[in-house]
Structure 1
Amino acid sequence: MTSLSSKLFRQNTTCIKRYFNRSAIRRTAFETEGKTVVKILNKDLSNGFLINAFSEHGFTLSAGFNVIGPIIVFPRTFLSWNIAASSDMNAESLCLFNVLEPQLDMLIIGLDMQYPAHAPFLCDLRAWLKKTKINAEILPIKHAIPTYNFLAAEGRFVAAALVPPKHFVPEYAVTAPLPKHERIPDY
């Protein structure tokens, strides 16, 4: 019986040794140093002009520019736009995008507030965009900016026509003071 147990033990150790040898040869998923790298897009000027912030006064661009009022922004340039509100948008105010060559991959239109989907100026705007074959997204300003930033950082030929909101309250703003027990202690 001892010879049988010793044979079994020897066979098991051989299998174990072979298994460990095989696992040592395996490669890992990371052939390099294996470090995770985070790249802040808005600080990298090779992406062109990205929009860092907005308020009721205007926009802050990644290169440190503060622009007052509505703007038209391309990855490599920006223009001040003479429009009072989103409801003033029409074919004449957006005619610049009709004459661009080559044609834009996407035009992002940022509205100053949430409008009903069937607002008369939006219906006219959609009809004009369809007639001129301009690919466009019409979004509220808080959704238009990240969409533009993503497409511009991806290297697409994209532009944004943005109108700052009339009334701006950050979503994270506290409207009422916190109760005493929920406040962060003063140091």
Structure 2
Amino acid sequence: MAVSQRLPHLIRALKSAPTRHVAGNHLLPSLRRAFSLYDQIDLIDKVPDDQLRFQQYTDTGFKVNGVDYEGSLLCVGNLLMSWTPKKFSEITPDSLSIFSTVRPIAEILILGCGRNIEPVDPEVRRFILSTGMKLEVLDSRNAASTYNILNEEGRIVAAALLPYGVSS
């Protein structure tokens, strides 16, 4: 019997087979829909091991890929490093100077200001724009989430994040 003839027979057999429920096993979702919202959320959680993903934030640091980090962080693509500034006023072109040498150039720098969004010093803004990056200024909680989304999309993104407990 040719494959094209066996396929309809196989489909009919599968449709008529009784469904068995075994404890601990779950049935696959219906193939009549591509993905439910739940399936999409589940797929987002399955991030490759080598891709940075912020999982939590605290007043003093962040949890990234299961590891707790204290203090401020700089991220470029999937590279993570400690960052010197402890408060927003310490963010200067010098503290961001790594972005003038890192290649490829990120398309956007997400600046996490701590608990509140702060106005960026014009000199810092000019420096960031001179590197070829765009600037997005957010509180650190939303900055970490935005970084996750853009990084998962495969975009070249950078983040400079102060801990959430930092305020002006």
TM-score above 0.5, yes or no: yes
Q: Which amino acid aligns with 1:96?
A: I
Which of the pair has more CA radius of gyration? 1
Q: Secondary structure at 2:103's aligned position in 1?
A: coil
1:162 equivalent in structure 2: 161
- Say yes or no: does 1:34 pair with 2:36: no
Residues 101 and 167 (structure 1), Cα distance of their counterparts in 2 relative to 1, 3 Å cut: closer
The whole-number CA distance in structure 1 between the counterparts of 2:92 and 2:125 is 10
Q: Which runs of 5+ in 2 are unaligned?
A: 1-29
- Say yes or no: does 1:77 pair with 2:79: yes
1:64 equivalent in structure 2: 66
Conserved 8 A contact 1:59-1:68: yes
1:52 equivalent in structure 2: 55
TM-score with structure 2 setting the length: 0.69
Conserved 8 A contact 1:41-1:47: no
1:152 equivalent in structure 2: 151
Judging by fraction of residues, say which structure has more strand: 2
State the Cα deviation string for residues 21-69 of structure 1 (Å, max 9, x = none): xxxxxxxxxxx812423334244225711101101120011x2111111
TM-score with structure 1 setting the length: 0.63
Q: Secondary structure at 2:78's aligned position in 1?
A: coil
2:102 equivalent in structure 1: 100
Residues 167 and 85 (structure 1), Cα distance of their counterparts in 2 relative to 1, 3 Å cut: closer
Q: RMSD across aligned C-alpha pairs, in angstroms?
A: 2.3
The whole-number CA distance in structure 1 between the counterparts of 2:92 and 2:115 is 17
The whole-number CA distance in structure 1 between the counterparts of 2:59 and 2:146 is 19
Q: Which runs of 5+ in 1 are unaligned?
A: 1-31, 169-187
- How far apart are residue 114 of structure 1 and its match? 2.2
Give the length in aligned residue pairs. Answer: 133
The whole-number CA distance in structure 2 between the counterparts of 1:34 and 1:46 is 31
Q: Which amino acid aligns with 1:130?
A: L
Conserved 8 A contact 2:75-2:159: yes
The whole-number CA distance in structure 2 between the counterparts of 1:125 and 1:68 is 24
The whole-number CA distance in structure 2 between the counterparts of 1:133 and 1:44 is 28
2:26 equivalent in structure 1: none
The whole-number CA distance in structure 2 between the counterparts of 1:150 and 1:110 is 15
Q: How much identity, in percent, do the aligned residues show? A: 25
Residues 133 and 44 (structure 1), Cα distance of their counterparts in 2 relative to 1, 3 Å cut: closer
Relative CO higher for 1 or 2, CA cutoff 8 Å, sep ≥ 6?
2
The whole-number CA distance in structure 2 between the counterparts of 1:102 and 1:109 is 19
